[in-house]
């Protein structure tokens, strides 16, 4: 039996942020308006620090501190609390705050707003309140009911948002219904990416599992949603922790499951998930034994809540409550360059902890000028990045950031230095235009004229798009923010450097990996890493060749051996022949003078014929040795391609020449007769 823990189980970024802010603020005189998150264990641990719970705003004394939960709160409630001198610690999830902004804007434009979610959920109520108490619908059928009441008539337009934990399937159905009921609706898919990830992972795991265990509080909408998703696919147990699961172990054992999957809602602490997972791991031998997979949940995510609590406890003597509050309330300003720690990486953004009350977000468009870059190519959880603040929203508690602007600022310095030093830089081609191409180099856009791309005139440049290129900076105009570069100059510089390096070390006998650059009738020119060498046709193969193309083609990668050098004229002679394959050696080891062998006529000349004994080894049959009679023309007795029996009558090892005779072979084949 295997136990598999879903990768994204447990706290999401918004919940982790909310719990962290509340832990920093928790103490006497602090009240939480409703459950900070929907998890009783977390709420109880916060109350143990002296924080009190209030179900209604009236329960919070004037002048106290109120923690606003991650789900957000209605604006009129916040206004009344501030009017009574209550200090607000807003832990509203940045994703929820974004929905608040959308709802307020669309309502302010005179449009009617719809909210897809759970009607009595605090997050849905808070969103609704920001759009004139917009209706919250739980199914597309309710949208039809609204249509019957004239909701879509006589309005400027309709906009629709979703609760962050809304069911994706229901959302899609509502979108389709809205498109049928009104024209040009504004649709904002605001379902949290963390919610989508958890739901898709839970569905995939439940498809494979025999039993699913969903850990979460029954008040948590996203946990209940995970339960429903899993229950549609396999036997599912919805528990708040290990104590609730323990009584079901005999029942689970009776099913003899091969795979047990575990997932948890976004408001479930890492400690509870670990307790269930570790105990299930220990129980596997009782249930059925077998292989247990290690959980795939990232260490930073699994232990985040526990580590935060330990750090707070360890530093409580060194950092007072007032200091912690002051730290959490530090402000940011647009245009600042700040450093932060990466807390989460998704397909569309990087989230950062900036050491302030703000949640930092770097959109994928602000990561790099390279259009093909992915967030996880830039950073991992725990990395420190320097970023540029492009927008600050103190009310909603988030800051929009840019990494590529910092890179560009640093890039200008590197560009200046590179021009002075004639250094070669690497860039990525990000744009093709009529005059040439544009490459991003350290965040700076560099224009490369077509004549300097290295591409032949009138040839298309499209194949360069999104490729890495080496270039040299030729012109900089900071005032106009214009930089011009050259791939051609860089290639020439690199080739000269490579040539110099080759000539500093090249010796007869050196072996290089090379590329065939061109062919002529007498041989091939080969690039051996910056310098060109020439391999004569006789050095391309042990076989007799009529043209170099019979052995190599332009673009081939070959192993070349240096056989001669002329340093004064900068000429290198190469050979592609491998001595281990030398056919002459094979011939001398297997044949000797006097042997009769089969040979193939390969060439006729005026004074005889050449015959191949082995591939690469030819011998000459003199015209006088072609037959046992006088021969006027070799063609009268043999033709190219004929296979004949010949006798080896001489071997000149020094000159590697062989003399053959058909006549001698014929005479040796004649039968002996006695005198009678």
Contact 13, 343 (CB under 8 A): yes
Contact 1, 258 (CB under 8 A): yes
Distance CA 558, CA 539 (A): 13
Beta strand 617-622 with 337-345: parallel, antiparallel or unpaired?
Answer: unpaired
Residue whose structure tokens are 């591409």 = 455
Contact 6, 202 (CB under 8 A): yes
Q: How far is CA 674 from CA 664, 666, 668, 670, in A?
A: 21, 19, 16, 13
Q: How far is CA 626 from CA 362, 472, 598, 665, in A?
A: 87, 68, 14, 10
Distance CA 62, CA 51 (A): 15
Distance CA 611, CA 638 (A): 11
| CB-neighbour burial class of residue 586 (10 A; exposed 0-12, middle 13-18, buried 19+) | middle
Catalytic residue among 23, 123, 201, 283: 123
Distance CA 101, CA 388 (A): 23
- The residue among 131, 135, 98 whose CA lies nearest residue 114 is 135
Distance CA 83, CA 488 (A): 69
Q: 523: alpha, beta or left, given left = phi > 0 and alpha = psi -120 to 50?
A: left
End-to-end distance of the chain based on CA atoms, in angstroms?
98
Three-class secondary structure of residue 127 per DSSP: helix
Contact 33, 90 (CB under 8 A): no
Contact 98, 396 (CB under 8 A): yes
Residue whose structure tokens are 């232990």 = 303
- What is the per-residue DSSP string for 557-575? EEEEEEEEEETTTTEEEEE
Q: How far is CA 264 from CA 101, 187, 448, 592, in A?
A: 29, 29, 53, 84
Known catalytic residue at 274:
no
Phi, psi for 170 (deg, rounded to 5)? -65, -40
Q: Would you please indicate which residues are annotated as catalytic (active-site) residues?
A: 123
């Amino acid at each position: 039996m295997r136990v598999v823990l879903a990768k994204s189980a447990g706290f999401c970024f918004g919940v982790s942020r909310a719990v962290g802010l509340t832990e920093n603020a928790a103490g006497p005189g602090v009240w939480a308006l409703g459950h900070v998150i929907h998890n009783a264990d977390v709420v109880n641990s916060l109350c143990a620090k002296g924080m009190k719970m209030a179900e209604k705003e009236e329960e919070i004394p004037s002048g106290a501190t109120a923690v606003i939960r991650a789900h957000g709160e209605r604006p009129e409630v916040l206004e009344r609390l501030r009017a009574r001198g209550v200090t607000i610690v807003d832990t509203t999830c940045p994703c929820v705050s974004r929905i608040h902004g959308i709802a307020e804007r669309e309502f302010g434009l005179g449009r009617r707003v719809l909210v897809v979610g759970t009607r009595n959920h605090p997050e849905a109520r808070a969103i609704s309140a920001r759009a004139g108490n917009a209706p919250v619908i739980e199914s597309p059928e309710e949208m039809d009911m609204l249509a019957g009441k004239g909701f879509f008539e006589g309005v400027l337009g309709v906009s629709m948002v979703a609760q962050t934990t809304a069911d994706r399937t229901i959302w899609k159905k509502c979108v389709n219904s809205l498109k049928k009921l009104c024209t040009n609706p504004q649709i904002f898919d605001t379902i949290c990416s963390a919610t989508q990830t958890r739901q898709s992972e839970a569905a995939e795991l439940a498809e494979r599992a025999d039993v699913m265990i969903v850990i979460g509080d029954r008040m948590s909408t996203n946990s209940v949603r995970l339960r429903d998703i899993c229950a549609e696919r396999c036997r599912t147990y919805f528990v708040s922790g290990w104590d609730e699961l323990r009584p079901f172990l005999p029942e689970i054992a009776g099913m003899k499951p091969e795979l047990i999957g575990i997932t948890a809602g976004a408001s479930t602490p890492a400690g509870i998930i670990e307790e269930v997972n570790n105990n299930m791991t220990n129980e596997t031998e009782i249930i059925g034994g077998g292989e247990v997979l290690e959980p795939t949940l990232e260490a930073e995510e699994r232990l985040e809540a526990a580590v935060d609590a330990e750090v707070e406890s360890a530093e409580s003597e060194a950092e007072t409550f007032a200091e912690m509050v002051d730290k959490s309330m530090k402000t940011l300003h647009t245009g600042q360059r700040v450093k932060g720690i990466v807390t989460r990486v998704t397909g569309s953004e990087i989230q950062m902890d900036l050491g302030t009350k703000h949640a930092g977000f770097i959109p994928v468009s602000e990561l790099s000028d390279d259009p093909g870059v992915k967030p996880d190519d830039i950073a991992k959880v725990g990395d420190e990045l320097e970023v540029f603040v492009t927008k600050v929203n103190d009310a909603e508690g988030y800051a929009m950031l840019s990494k590529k602007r910092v890179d560009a600022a640093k890039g200008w310095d590197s560009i200046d230095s590179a021009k002075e030093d004639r250094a070669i830089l690497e860039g990525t081609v990000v744009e093709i235009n009529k005059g040439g191409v544009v490459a991003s180099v350290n965040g700076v856009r560099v224009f490369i004229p077509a004549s300097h791309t290295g591409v032949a005139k009138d040839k298309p440049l499209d194949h360069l798009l999104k490729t890495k290129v080496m270039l040299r900076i030729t012109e900089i105009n900071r005032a106009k923010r214009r930089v011009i570069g050259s791939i051609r100059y860089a290639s020439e510089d690199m080739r000269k450097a490579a040539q110099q390096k080759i000539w500093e070390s090249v010796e007869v006998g050196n072996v290089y990996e090379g590329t065939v650059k061109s062919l002529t009738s007498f041989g091939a020119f080969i690039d051996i890493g910056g310098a060109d060498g020439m391999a004569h046709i006789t050095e391309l193969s042990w076989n007799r060749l009529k043209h170099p193309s019979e052995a190599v083609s332009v673009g081939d990668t070959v192993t070349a051996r240096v056989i001669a050098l002329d340093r004064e004229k900068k000429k290198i002679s190469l050979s592609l022949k491998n001595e281990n394959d030398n056919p002459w050696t094979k011939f001398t080891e297997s044949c000797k003078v006097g042997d009769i062998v089969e040979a193939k006529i390969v060439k006729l000349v005026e004074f005889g014929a050449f015959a191949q004994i082995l591939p690469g080894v030819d011998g000459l049959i003199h015209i006088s040795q072609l037959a046992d009679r006088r021969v006027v023309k070799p063609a009268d007795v043999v033709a190219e391609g004929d296979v004949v029996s010949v006798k080896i009558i001489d071997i000149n090892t020094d000159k590697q020449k062989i003399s053959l005779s058909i006549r001698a072979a014929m005479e040796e084949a004649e039968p002996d007769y006695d005198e009678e």
